[in-house]
Amino acid sequence: MKIGWIGTGVMGSSMCKHMMTKGYAMQCFNRTASKADDCVKAGAVFTSPIEMAKNVDVMILMLGYPEDVETMCLGKEGIVQHMKAGSYLIDHTTSSPGLAVKVSEEAEKRQVHCIDAPVSGGDVGAKNGCLVTMIGGHEEHVQAC
């Protein structure tokens, strides 16, 4: 399974690295490339969001604000239009329900499955691998992930 991670800031970096300790090969991206250095040192491959979207089976987002999610997913260079049919988009960003629906509707047009999964626990929880995830999405997609 190929996994991509966009957003390696305060929480995302730790979350991405925890996935790698479980044996997952990761591709990653952050607007400020240096914030991905720890993930790259741990074995992730830094690449562009569009290239990642074309190749991964699961794309995970951990961004700062709802507008970042909208731009990353649906903007002119948005990843949803480049993702493979049958792939999954998991958004850990604390965002808005309306935006989650909008992203999901656009993704479903391309047979990309969305899971809205904001987390609680902050940077300490992320570092310790102890976060609470609130999950919304079609049950079969949640179970698959």
Q: What is the pLDDT of residue 66?
A: 96
pLDDT at 82: 97
Residues in a beta bridge with 89: 59, 114
CATH code for residues 3-144: 3.40.50.720
Cα 17 from Cα 40, distance rounded (Å):
9
Domain positions in the chain: 3-144
Phi and psi at residue 93, in whole multiples of 5°?
A: -65, 140
pLDDT given at position 91: 98
pLDDT range class, residue 139, cuts 50, 70, 90: very high
Q: What is the pLDDT of residue 23?
A: 94
Q: Which residues pair with 29 in a beta bridge?
A: 6
- Start-to-end CA span in the chain (Å): 11
Q: What is the pLDDT of residue 128?
A: 96
pLDDT tens digit string along 10-65?
A: 999 999 999 999 999 999 999 999 999 999 999 999 999 999 999 999 999 999 99
Chain segment 70-105, per-residue pLDDT in tens = 999 999 889 999 999 999 999 999 999 999 999 999
Band the pLDDT of 115: cuts 50, 70, 90. Answer: very high
Number of other CB atoms surrounding residue 88 within 10 Å: 23
pLDDT in the model for residue 74: 97
